[in-house]
Chains A and B, each alone.
Chain A
Amino acid sequence: DQQVKQNSPSLSVQEGRISILNCDYTNSMFDYFLWYKKYPAEGPTFLISISSIKDKNEDGRFTVFLNKSAKHLSLHIVPSQPGDSAVYFCAASIQGGSEKLVFGKGTKLTVNP
């Protein structure tokens, strides 16, 4: 039973436009959410996170929105750049714990010049 779901395996966006990556979760105990970015042949790198006490967190071009009632979070990238092309993983944890961080399957974002 998948607790963190990224239902779109891929997304293609034009450079300069907004990219919206979505993530749904089923476990109501999750209270900390993270996004990781992964380039081919590299390990994932941390991008941005949000605590369940917030509904929005912004870092430059990246904004994560959390809708607790819908158990849904999204990552917005504005404006999208070709260098943003990567696989994005959504992850969730309970009480911010590092162990047993649960990852989604990932969404491959392609930003076309």
Chain B
Amino acid sequence: DAGITQSPRYKITETGRQVTLMCHQTWSHSYMFWYRQDLGHGLRLIYYSAAADITDKGEVPDGYVVSRSKTENFPLTLESATRSQTSVYFCASSASRMNTGELFFGEGSRLTVL
């Protein structure tokens, strides 16, 4: 079934480890996004990408790295995980910048950093 998928759905890691969250979409949407959801903060943008090889920082980019070598994939890497990065991470995509802001979200990846 076409859509946007995230993996893993659940991940437990330790402080200092590197973790990569994967995001794959089958719509060939140009724009892709990574958000984190935390209690008391709602959804906050980490990074976004307008096209392959084009990425830009969002509101809370520190401690995260992204890449987009292919249109359909947008992995998010925590190079050295910290407890403050315990969160639920959502990947999203949009057909274009001017798509009236409507985003299509994945089901989320719940990350726990011990």
Contacts and interface: CB of A to CB of B under 8 A. Distances in A.
A45 B105 contact: yes
Contacts of B50: 99
Contacts of B107: 41-43
Nearest to B96: A98
Interface residues of A, number: 25
B90 interface: yes
Interface in B11-68: 31, 33, 35, 40-45, 48, 50, 56, 58-59
A43 B102 contact: no
A35 to B, nearest CB: 11
Contacts of A45: 105
Number of chain B interface residues as a range: 20 to 34
Interface in A19-71: 32, 34, 41-46, 49, 51
A91 B94 CA distance: 15
A101 B101 contact: yes
13 contacts: A32-B100, A43-B107, A44-B103, A49-B102, A89-B42, A89-B43, A96-B100, A98-B99, A99-B33, A99-B48, A103-B35, A104-B42, A105-B42
Interface of B: 31, 33, 35, 40-45, 48, 50, 56, 58-59, 90, 92, 94, 96-108
